[in-house]
Every structure is written in structure tokens, then in C-alpha cells.
Amino acid sequence: MYAIRKSDFTLLESNVGDKARMTVYDSIGTREVEVPRSLRSQPSLSDEQACGVAHLAADLERSTGRPADIEWALQNKTLHLLQCRPITTLC
């Protein structure tokens, strides 16, 4: 979990949960595997990557005029927007 201040994108807090399973891509598609013990308590994102996701969400909120629920992915350290929907339950 990351808490990032919206006004200046300062990282306020990050907490890493223990991860037991992960989805990986291989030659036959995707599959779920156990997370190696050495990675279970490691963050999935760097602080910089988490702030990049926050920037993406803020940019979408500015352009649409409302908060957005986003789905994203990292590929070779590049952030990709997969889809975006307005959050209507806040209105």
C-alpha cells in the first residue's frame, strides 16, 4: 500500500504485505506460482514507480474532471494504462 500526497506527489507511507502467490507470463500464457521466499516481503513497485501511477491517476482526473479507477501494467519499466473508468460512487 502506498499513500501519496496528491498536491505534490510526496510519498507519505508505504507498507509491504507478505505475498504468497503471483501471476507470471511464460511461453504458454499466464500461470499462478508461489512467490520465492526472498521476494515475499519485497515491494512490488519502487517508490518512483508508485509515484508514476499516482501521476497517471491525477492526469486522468484532470482531463476527465472526476476521479478515475485505473488499471495499469509495467512492462520493461514502462507504465502502461490498460483501462480507465470514472468513479461514480463518489458523486
Distance of alpha carbon 37 from alpha carbon 21, whole angstroms: 11
Looking at residue 72, its amino acid is W
Whether 86 has a pLDDT exceeding 90, the answer reads: no
> For residue 4, what are the contacts with CB-CB under 8 A and spacing of at least 6?
10, 11, 12, 50, 51, 54
Distance of alpha carbon 51 from alpha carbon 34, whole angstroms: 27
pLDDT digits (tens, 9 = 90+) for 1-38: 999 999 999 999 999 988 999 999 889 899 999 999 99
Torsion over CA: 52, 19, 76, 81 (sign): negative
pLDDT digits (tens, 9 = 90+) for 39-81: 999 998 999 999 999 999 999 999 989 898 999 999 888 999 9
Q: Is 0.85 surpassed by the pTM of this model?
A: no
